[in-house]
Amino acid sequence: CHGIQSIQSKRGSSSHNHNPFVALKAHGATEENGEVYGVNLIYSGNFSIEAEVDCLNATRLLAGINPTDFTWRLEPNESFTAPEAVMVYTDKGLGEMSRIFHRTYMKHLIKSPWRDVERPVLINSWEAAYFDFDDDKLVAFAREAAKMGVDMLVMDDGWFGRRESDDSSLGDWYVNEKKLKGGLSSLIERVNAEGLKFGIWYEPEMISPDSDLYRAHPDWCLHVPNRENSPARLQYVLDMTRKDVRDNIFAQMYKVLSENKIDYVKWDFNRNLTEVGSALLPPERQKEVMHRFVLGTYDLMDRFVKAFPNILFENCSGGGGRFDAGMLYYSPQIWCSDNTDAIERLTIQFGTSMCYPISSFGAHVAARPRTSLKTRGNVAMCGTFGYELDPRKLTDDEKAEVKQQIADYRKYHRLVREGDFYRLVSPTENDFYCAWEFVSPDKQEAMMTAVVMRQPETRYCVQRLRGLDPKTYYQDEETGTVYSGAMLMNAGLNLTRDVYEDGTSVTKHFKAVK
């Protein structure tokens, strides 16, 4: 139809509402057939993407910085660099479009040395303890986690300043030694002694009104003169356009990271920008602040990844509110969503896979009882894989199951990281179940997972696979049964006995045999 369809963000980040990605597909195009154009803006701030069909039935697509409240003053001999966009074309459907994006970003965009290696299985303290922890509790987490094969303990929010809830101390990046009684170095040594590496949480772009930094520098937050600031999550946003602000945050964080054996940083961003003004810019340049904020954040991230090239950085924004290609350049993985329920994650992870590689999905097993531990593990395997729970509360049977899940992750991590991803059954287009598949680049290995969302009264489930070599024979790792690739792709697998009630799941692994 004629007119303009658009998606955009005016929140200062790519946002939870829309992502800077669109796909234009021909009528009748599917996952595996038909013409598709995909466009993704490599940018983490305000954006606008518009598709217009004019009176001649021609389609025009515009993608770039959102023009709302944006201007940029160019002096003589100055230049302005606009964000780049990646465009993919294929006549093989949405699935091939996604796989081209995945390969392109893995090969050309993500720069971290962690891109091509096995990621550590981590356990994050947030859903296990929130703010209620001390060094002894964290060491107890590490001790139990180590028995199951976990690689790393991540200490989330609550370790700095006087932080006992979310109403203070952002910007005061020094250790709360009343909580961590032996100090951070002592805690890390104790965690390392249990056999685990150590990670830490930061929210570098934010400042609490109740903080030493705000009391010393109230003008360092984004603000507009004579207008009251609007707190969100009881915090303000630092003016990242200012080098003195970035230098201060870098110095505080550098001291902690350089003096302690830290292997991972979770970089959070928990609110959007309001009262967007900078004390250092003249009135005629205030509409540059949104873009300058993004450039300032990129500058700070760049300094950290260069200063600490071996640290694994994971981006986050209240979950997936800043999951974009700009962030992927600095961090090889991004926390997909704060919603860790396995059934809800199906839609979240399927949607994210339209553009972004599976190896970039921060995905964990959480203590959410709606589904079995098995299903939670199968869903988290479609990502970086880790845990968000108190390991001390697991039963012996659950601990044994976690140990097996971690062994499976180590066995299949390369297939997940490097394999071609196929969305077999979408959770938004099927009320019964959803399914996906990984196929190794040489087509010698494949893994299919199916998860039941809502079991119908009469069930019958045959699932065809994709991406295999029709002339190759594949053996089911669990049963030993051998199938031809042609049979798996055309006749399919009968899963009726495997997917039978709400929240159940099955994973099938195949390897080529002669």
Catalytic residues: 268, 338
SS3 438: strand
- Number of Cβ within a 10 Å radius of residue 28: 8
Among candidate residues 512, 429, 409, 497, the one with its CA nearest the CA of residue 467: 512
State how far the Cα of 188 lies from the Cα of 175, in Å rounded to an integer: 13
Report yes or no: 19 and 67 within 8 Å, Cβ to Cβ.
no
Tokens representing 325 are: 């290609």
Can you tell me whether residue 348 is helix, strand or coil?
helix
Strand-pairing partners, residue 423, are 436
**CB-based contact 443:437 (threshold 8 Å):** no
Of 461, 451, 455, 268, which is closest to residue 344 (Cα–Cα)? Answer: 451
Could you give the residue ranges of the DSSP H alpha helices within 105-234? Answer: 126-129, 135-148, 183-193, 212-216
Separation CA 324–CA 136 (nearest Å) = 37
**SS3 state of residue 119:** coil
Give start and end residues of each alpha helix (H) in 269-341.
289-307, 325-330
Q: Which of 505, 492, 502, 494 is nearest to 466 (CA)?
A: 492
Locate tokens 């961090």: which residue? 331
Q: How far apart are CA 438 and CA 409, in angstroms?
A: 13
Q: Report the b/e string of 433-444 with b at 16+ CB within 10 A.
A: bbbbbbbbeebe
